[in-house]
Amino acid sequence: MDNNQNKKILIVEDDQFLREFYQELLIAEGYFVDMAPDGEVALKKIWEKEFDLILLDIMLPKKDGVQILRELKTRPPKSPQVPIVVLTNLGQDTIIKECFDLGAEGYLIKSALNPDQVLTEVKSYLSKS
């Protein structure tokens, strides 16, 4: 039996439309969703709460995704094994590589995914963790 109920996902995304899109999508699947609109709020939540998956946008106000990954190297998340999946746009290949070097587990290209694909990806990352 799928037990999504206990799975907590943090969405770090400054675009309100996308944030709410992911939120509705994941809540409909039974996940518990928390959100952060910028890098500072995100870090605070990552250090204070436990998550099963973090979806991290690269381009963010206050601190970007790369900075967040760097800071998590020196001060690990409250849930140390949490997979972090970077949300990116096309053409950010060098940044994606840097994110992998800093411990990101994978990436999703925002413009290329329909809702079903997002859910499939999320499930596959959660099943690994």
List, in order of start, the domains of the chain with CATH numbers.
4-128 (3.40.50.2300)
pTM above the 0.85 mark? yes
pLDDT tens column, 33-61: 999 999 999 999 999 999 999 999 999 99
Q: Is 6's pLDDT higher than 80?
A: yes
Going by DSSP bridges, is the β-strand pair 106-109/84-88 parallel, antiparallel, or unpaired?
parallel
The residues, any chain, with a CB within 8 Å of residue 91's CB and separated by 6 or more, are none
For residue 84, what is the DSSP state? E
